[in-house]
Chains A and B, each alone.
Chain A
Amino acid sequence: MHGLFGRVLHVDLTSGQSAYRDVEESRLRKYLGGIGLGTTLLYQYAPTGVDPLSPANPLIFASAPLVGTRVTTTAKFAVLTKSPLTGLIADSLSSSHFALELKRLGIDGLVLTGQAPSLAYLFIHDENVEMRPAGHLRGKTPDETQTIIRSEPGCATVWVASIGAAGENRVRFATISNEGRHAGRGGVGAVMGAKNLKAIAVSGDRATPVAYPEELESIADSLRRRSVSSVTDKYRGLGTVANLAVFNRLGTLPTRNFQQTTFEHADALSGETLTETTFSRRHGCAACTIRCERLFKSQAGEEQRLEYETLFALGPLCGISDPDCVLQAARLCDDYGLDAISTGGTLSWAIETVEKGLLPEARALGLRFGNAEGVLTAIHAIAGRHGIGALLAEGSRRAAVETGGESSYWAMHVKGLELPGYDPRSLKTMALGLAVSPRGACHNRSGAYEADFSGEVDRLRGDSRRGGIVAASEDFAAVLDSLIVCKFLRKCFADFYTEAAEILARVTGWEYSGAELRRAGERIHTLKKLFNIREGWRPDTDWLPERLLSETLPTGVARGVGLSRDELKEMIRGYYQAREWDEDGFVPERKLEQLGIARC
């Protein structure tokens, strides 16, 4: 087999026993790797109705065919589990050297079940699997954890993925982190923490076998050249922080818990300003020619990575205008292993709830819009589950239900996952994408906003045609996430499906067409939906927060624009139709047969 190894390593953390299990080549052809392969493993190994924080919930790391090849931006891995935040699928990606080292173990995936008797880390060196005590790592940041593990016997060359204190404390939006990158959304870190697993340290020596290396090199070389052309200027020049000023101008920057879509202090936080005032250096993942990461220097002289989502969530969403506060808050999220979007989303919910007269304990922390100290104190409290932090560690949906009153109205989530930095009222295709996404309010498992930002559609007015656009965008994302190729490379392809199929064929030796790849995207997305249906998805789960359907935009170029229930219903109807699902959004048997998906 080329590109993949045809086997997955299973580790029972309760007993410490491990075993390799074969994965049929036919399954790999259908689901590729990464998110696709991970979804099939999750569907197979998660018991129906499993409690996400119970030992039986599998935590899955999945590699992919292009990982370890010379194709740029492919040093990535997927993490899947049943989300403790949504109760549905959590499928996250992270990247860099850990991804390459995981593949060097000669496996396509790692399935972890059970629960270690006490805090432990997993050390996998080639085919040796060892559980080691990790009491001394308790409370350590992911960076510290890697440094300490590397000083331990046999571990000098390992790469480490670990949780911070938030994961140990089962904060429902905790991340799994490696090298400053994060499998961020959906609370995969809480599942790892619930397994008493602090870290996974890997070191292997298997190269990714490539069927036609010379033929692959010609296309890989061409892609590398295209990856540094003007189409990636934004990522190479400013990174994603460039979004903030643009979104503010276009009236789609969520501010003060989505009460506004423009922020009066946007200039102070813009990517342009940060680049001119606090920029420290540019960085990139392993095997990446784009190198989108930007590190900025805080007043204390510390370097901190910032991306748009972190910047928006810890800045305008909480009314924070001081760049140094955002850098400090981002540092805390990284050190504790917290998803910055859900952290900002939950905090902004708490702030508004305080302002409406509830949550007196949060008021005592100093939580109010624009108060840096309150936000920083609250992040510490969340990670440690101290005081009101224990409530906030549950995420905005659960915290609102617990708080009662009208506070659910201010909880800005879909399926329990807090919204990313795009206001759906002024991006109607994105509104649909967020409403129907299997993992909740997600901007990564589709690029629905692209249509809104291209002028291809009227971004201020929804219609049923958006269904086909969103479905195509989800399938496209599923293929990127399963090969795996970074989304920032997406515009470097002239004809993505044809070219990507050619790359896949050269790596694996499979005959593979663009049409098959497109179908694989649809199959992968459909399986995610099938998992969700099995775990309790219902038609009313595909919906948006009440605020977005009740309040029109008070500021910005789209002032006065709203999103009506009928408009959203119409778009959802168009989406189910485009997917050929039934009118309630369930997947009919004939569609499963067509895609070759077997229920389990």
Chain B
Amino acid sequence: MPLMGPGSETCATAIVLAGGKSSRMGRSKALLPFDGEPLIVHVVATLQRLFAEVVVVAAPEQDLPSMPVRVVSDEVAYQGPVGGIHYGLTAAGSEAAFVTSCDSVFLNLDLIAHLVDQLPGHDVVVPHWQDRFQPLHAVYRKSVSPLLAEQLAQGQLRPVHLFDKVRLRRVDEDEIRRFDPEGSSFYNMNTPEDYAEALKRWSVTRRAVQCTVELFGMARLLARTPLMSLALPAGATFSDAFAALADKLPVLVGRVISADRKRLVAGYACNVNGLSFVRTETAVVNPGDSLVILSADAGG
């Protein structure tokens, strides 16, 4: 069963569309070197932190690196995203799937988890960013697949045509900004210039993730400080952040941070930026995040 991270009731698959022509890029986007590996490997590895099943939809005979994922091919090549979504959903092992493309290099797992959480009662959950729907960063129920097949038959190759026919949950900018203030999630690469820009952004991002830890309650009293800054390597997870905090404040180990330094002990919780609560320690810390360490019993 392709499950999401622990604690979630929602089952979902991740689908990566890789079969585009890459005509403006001039070479296969999926194979562009990125952070020392092919771009698609980077994207798949990111998604695997959240999804137990990842399906890659490729063009027939497309050259792809070996990855621990299921690869399916478009039955008819280059039918655009509607085809890719349709074939991906058909192959998905769960009732719904988050769909993205292989050149979405700055995926934000908190935002993705939020989108998946919105699915009950809807067929499609789609962000709306800067006046545009983002169908290649959206969650689709498998049950919409026949509608996509109809669109293909009628030559309607734009995913937005689907949105009028389903129970749509539109996620607007304000809601998106709570997780991804800059909208980096929707950055994708079509030209060599876009690629160069992405590499540049990534090199800045990967050097270090600066974040702040705010301590409340017993954690503050033990640490004798309300605030602590952390510099973490790019891609650092919350587990990494807890370990770094333990290095700086050993007094918290055993009382607030577990002895293995990977998580908080029972009775404590971590909130990000005063908004979302951390549900899995393997999620990635974003630059500028404020990690709020508080009692898990916030009421009473």
Q: List residues of chain A with CB under 8 Å of any chain B CB.
A: 229-235, 237-238, 240, 242-243, 245-247, 249-251, 271-272, 275-276, 308, 422, 443, 447, 449-450, 453-456, 458, 460-461, 463-465, 487-488, 491, 556-558, 560
Residue ID in chain A nearest B218 by CB atoms: A237
Q: Are A234 and B217 in contact (CB under 8 A)?
A: yes
Separation in Å of the B118 CB from the closest CB of chain A? Answer: 8
Contact of A246 among B7, B217, B265, B277 (CB under 8 A): B217
Looking at B7, B120, B267, B278, which has the most chain A CB atoms within 10 Å of its CB?
A: B267
Contact of B300 among A229, A233, A308 (CB under 8 A): A308
9 of the cross-chain contacts (CB-CB < 8 Å) are A231-B297, A232-B267, A232-B297, A245-B217, A246-B217, A249-B216, A250-B271, A455-B277, A463-B120
Separation in Å of the B56 CB from the closest CB of chain A? Answer: 30
Q: Are B274 and A234 in contact (CB under 8 A)?
A: no
Separation in Å of the A289 CB from the closest CB of chain B? Answer: 15
Separation in Å of the A230 CB from the closest CB of chain B? Answer: 4
Looking at A237, A271, A488, which has the most chain B CB atoms within 10 Å of its CB?
A: A237
In B150-179, the 8 Å CB interface with A consists of: 174-175, 178
Point out the residues of chain A lying under 8 angstroms from B276, CB to CB: 455
**Distance between Cα atoms of A449 and B297 in the complex (Å):** 10
For B, the interface residue count at a CB cutoff of 8 angstroms equals: 38
Q: Are B299 and A453 in contact (CB under 8 A)?
A: yes
Q: Are A488 and B274 in contact (CB under 8 A)?
A: no
Point out the residues of chain A lying under 8 angstroms from B216, CB to CB: 242, 245-246, 249, 272
- 4 closest Cβ pairs, A-B complex: A455-B277, A557-B274, A453-B298, A234-B295
In B61-115, the 8 Å CB interface with A consists of: 114
Residue ID in chain B nearest A453 by CB atoms: B298
**Distance between Cα atoms of A465 and B297 in the complex (Å):** 22
Contact of B217 among A238, A458, A461 (CB under 8 A): A238
Looking at A240, A246, A271, which has the most chain B CB atoms within 10 Å of its CB?
A: A246
Point out the residues of chain B lying under 8 angstroms from A449, CB to CB: 298-299
- B214 at the binding interface (Cβ < 8 Å): yes
Separation in Å of the A489 CB from the closest CB of chain B? Answer: 11
Separation in Å of the B191 CB from the closest CB of chain A? Answer: 36
Point out the residues of chain B lying under 8 angstroms from A447, CB to CB: 299
Dominant SS among interface residues on chain B: loop
Q: Are A557 and B299 in contact (CB under 8 A)?
A: no
Point out the residues of chain A lying under 8 angstroms from B279, CB to CB: 455
Q: Are A240 and B121 in contact (CB under 8 A)?
A: no
Q: List residues of chain B with CB under 8 Å of any chain A CB.
A: 7, 114, 117-118, 120-121, 174-175, 178, 214, 216-218, 220-221, 226, 255, 265-269, 271, 273-279, 292, 294-300
Q: Are B221 and A464 in contact (CB under 8 A)?
A: no
Q: Are A491 and B269 in contact (CB under 8 A)?
A: no
Separation in Å of the B279 CB from the closest CB of chain A? Answer: 5
Residue ID in chain A nearest B279 by CB atoms: A455
Q: Are A465 and B298 in contact (CB under 8 A)?
A: no
Q: Are A272 and B277 in contact (CB under 8 A)?
A: no
Excluding A455-B279, A458-B117, 5 further A-B contacts by CB distance (< 8 Å) are A232-B267, A237-B217, A242-B216, A458-B114, A488-B297
Residue ID in chain B nearest A241 by CB atoms: B217
Looking at A238, A455, A458, A465, which has the most chain B CB atoms within 10 Å of its CB?
A: A455
Q: Are A230 and B265 in contact (CB under 8 A)?
A: yes
Point out the residues of chain A lying under 8 angstroms from B275, CB to CB: 460, 557-558
Q: Are A229 and B266 in contact (CB under 8 A)?
A: yes
Point out the residues of chain A lying under 8 angstroms from B120, CB to CB: 463, 465
Q: Are A249 and B221 in contact (CB under 8 A)?
A: no
Q: Are B117 and A251 in contact (CB under 8 A)?
A: no
From known contacts A230-B255, A308-B300, A447-B299, infer whether A272 and B217 are also in contact, taking CB-CB under 8 Å. Answer: yes
Residue ID in chain A nearest B224 by CB atoms: A276
**Distance between Cα atoms of A237 and B296 in the complex (Å):** 14
**Distance between Cα atoms of A538 and B267 in the complex (Å):** 40
Point out the residues of chain A lying under 8 angstroms from B298, CB to CB: 243, 246-247, 250, 449-450, 453
Point out the residues of chain A lying under 8 angstroms from B278, CB to CB: 455
Q: Are A231 and B217 in contact (CB under 8 A)?
A: no
Point out the residues of chain B lying under 8 angstroms from A245, CB to CB: 216-217
Q: Are B217 and A229 in contact (CB under 8 A)?
A: no
Q: Are B299 and A450 in contact (CB under 8 A)?
A: yes
Point out the residues of chain A lying under 8 angstroms from B226, CB to CB: 272
Separation in Å of the A354 CB from the closest CB of chain B? Answer: 32
